[in-house]
Copies of this chain bind each other. A is one copy, B any other.
Amino acid sequence: MDAATGDGARPLVEAAQVSYVTSDEFTTVVDHLWLLICAFLVFLMQAGFAMLEVGTVRQKNAKNLMIKNIMDLAAGAFVWWAFGFAFAYGGGDYSGGPSNGFIGAQGFFFIKGYDACDDASEFCLYPIKPKYDSFAGWLFQWAFAATATTIVSGAVAERCSFLGYVIYAVFITGFIYPVVVHWIWSEYGWLSAFRNPDAPGVWIASGVVDFAGSGVVHLVGGTISLVAAYILGPRIGRFDATGKVVPIMPHNSAFVGLGTLLLWFGWFGFNSGSTLALSGGFILAAEKVAVGTTLAASGGGLAGICMCFVKDGYLDLPALCNGILGGLVGVCSAVAVAEPWACWVIGFFAGCVEFWFAIGVQKLKIDDPLDASAVHMGCGFFGLICGGLFGTRLNTDATYSADQPCGAFFPGCGGQQLGVNILGGVMIMVWCSGMAFLVFGGMRLAGILRISSKQEHEGLDVSYHGSAAYDDTMDGSGSAKYRNKVQRAMIAEEVEPPTE
């Protein structure tokens, strides 16, 4: 029982029993708690992506998409533990150690780095440092890495081999994505706004404003998506003889909607959690970010469904959902430094960008089943631009340092931030498309990237995963029946599996 601090009437010994909370304990508890909660929310985005992707593809590939999304977490956790986190945030000691602006190199498998484990003992293998290097921070960043990787599974859906999937997923989670994180979010990165002033070398004075990852997460995933979809080639039957798009309908709209709602829910953790703290005024930033996130989703969703109505004459669910996701992607970069009205505007135009980017990709005869490139590349790059345009005072709410430049739309700010953000976006696209050409091109040359046309007709579930995703028999004899049904359907409709 802690006694209250006494007015003069009480004896001193009682007053001495009162204990107060140190700023240290408070900060540790609330900041790490915040990271934990937000990590859980971002984790749940994986369920959102899973339902969105499963619902959007044909039912013959539903199980495949579900397996891929769960594997992104299971395999991704191993890879992020082994390599990814070390490449992303494993710093240097500035005294001859492996510090550099391109890639981190310490902390593989939580093995202690240069300055970790002050209270070293035989069992202390991992560092506990503030923010990034806490276990909560690792978890939060792992969920982000899984997001970047999962994006691509939408673009290569319904035709990528499982081996191909495993290889590219390991590369993205373990190497391509962490390098970009190191550039922009670590304190050593050459494009980082949080760059440690003691880091060696002369770099860009102020870093990229990419608060929650329009560029670091979404542009990475989206760029790889576009290249992967291009190299893989379209699904059989996606374009007709004259090159016109043949619609392939989502097989379960309820899943699409549920997935979108789960993604929006998780995005509250994705964006608000990117404050990485609540103490020191960051709670005010976090809640402003949550509101900006909401308004951006609102703007994007309204843009998406309106444009669908104008162009197609009806109100479709994927347009609404992709508009919302586009708005959420677009606002990630600027959300901590932009006014609420600006977040709605960013979301609205991101929704437009998404809609037309997707049509542009189709015109290029690239088949991206989930429009992953439109949502994540189009809106990701657009978001980086907005980060350079709408930042009112970039040090708002203690998110960035006071000498970070502000957005080009505001008087006296100049174009510096816009320039840096565009440079960041271009560098991400160069890095990711280059790596994606190597990884996917290499697998294509090796003949391990794409399934056979027969397998594609049957669907990945039957050909790779033992049985169909659904079974409506009374006795649960699904698998065999479904195979027959597939074959029967082919015979009945006289569909000949075309040769490629």
Question: CA separation between A469 and B467, bound complex, in Å?
Answer: 22
Q: Which of A62-78 contact B (CB under 8 A)?
A: 62-63, 66-67, 69-71, 73-78
Residues in B neighbouring A470, C-beta threshold 8 A? 251-253
Asked if residues A73 and B297 are in contact (CB atoms below 8 Å), the reply is yes
Question: A5–B466 Cα gap in the complex (Å)?
Answer: 65
Write out, one digit per residue, whether chain A residues 287-320 have a CB within 8 A of any chain B CB (1) or not (0).
1101100110111111001000000101111001
Q: Which residues of B contact A257 (CB under 8 A)?
A: 50, 54, 63, 66-67, 69-70
Given contacts A2-B4, A125-B339, A257-B50, contact A39 B290 (CB under 8 A): yes
Name the one of B28, B297, B340 contacting A81, with C-beta atoms under 8 angstroms.
Answer: B340
Chain A 474-500, CB within 8 Å of chain B: the 1/0 string? Answer: 111111000000100100000000000
- Identify the closest chain B residue to A297 (Cβ): B74
- Decide if A91 is an interface residue (CB 8 Å cutoff): no
Judged by a CB distance under 8 angstroms, whether A261 is at the interface is yes
Given A74-B298, A126-B340, CB of A30 within 8 Å of CB of B32: no
Main SS of chain A's interface residues? helix
Q: Look across to chain B and name the residue whose beta carbon is closest to the beta carbon of A481.
A: B249
The answer to whether B262 and A62 have CB atoms under 8 Å apart is no
- Once the chains bind, are B249 and A478 in contact (CB under 8 Å)? yes
Known pairs A21-B20, A33-B278, A392-B123; A291 contacts B47 (CB<8 A): no
Cα A301 to Cα B76 in complex, Å, equals 11
Partner of A128, one of B59, B237, B284, B393: B284
Is A220 engaged at the interface, CB distance under 8 Å to the other chain? no
Q: Does A134 contact B (CB under 8 A)?
A: yes
Min CB distance A229 to B, Å, is: 17
Determine if B260 and A29 form an interchain contact, defined as CB atoms under 8 angstroms apart: no
Contacts of A260 in B (CB 8 A): 70
**Bound-complex Cα distance A426 to B268 (A):** 38
Q: Which of A92-138 contact B (CB under 8 A)?
A: 109-110, 123, 125-126, 128, 134-136, 138
Q: Mark A393-424, 1 if CB is under 8 A from B, else 0.
A: 10000000000000000100000000000000
Selected contact of A287 from candidates B44, B136, B278, B461, CB within 8 Å: B136
Given A253-B470, A314-B464, A474-B58: A32 in contact with B283 (beta carbons within 8 A): yes
Considering the complex, give the chain B residue whose CB is closest to the CB of A279: B29
Q: Is the CB of B471 within 8 A of A44?
A: no
CA distance A70 to B325 in the complex (A): 12
Beta-carbon contact of B47 and A24 below 8 Å:
no
Bound state CA distance, A486 and B472, in angstroms?
11
Chain B residues with CB below 8 A from A29, complex form: 30, 278-279, 283
Which residues on the B side are within 8 Å of A286 (C-beta)?
A: 32, 36
Q: Which of A3-24 contact B (CB under 8 A)?
A: 3-5, 7, 16, 18-24
- Within the complex, which residue of B19, B138, B287, B344 is in contact with A23, where a contact is CB–CB below 8 Å? B19
A347-381 CB contact bits vs B (8 Å, 1 = yes)?
00000000000000000000000000000000000
Enumerate the 9 nearest inter-chain pairs by beta-carbon distance, A residue then B residue, closest first: A249-B478, A74-B301, A248-B476, A66-B257, A77-B298, A5-B5, A253-B469, A47-B261, A136-B287
| 18 A/B residue pairs, CB under 8 Å, sorted by A | A2-B4, A21-B23, A32-B286, A33-B34, A36-B287, A44-B261, A47-B258, A58-B473, A66-B253, A66-B254, A66-B258, A70-B257, A70-B260, A75-B298, A77-B295, A135-B290, A248-B476, A251-B470
- 10 new A-B pairs (CB below 8 Å) besides A4-B5, A40-B269? A20-B23, A26-B26, A35-B287, A66-B257, A74-B324, A75-B302, A128-B284, A249-B478, A253-B461, A315-B466
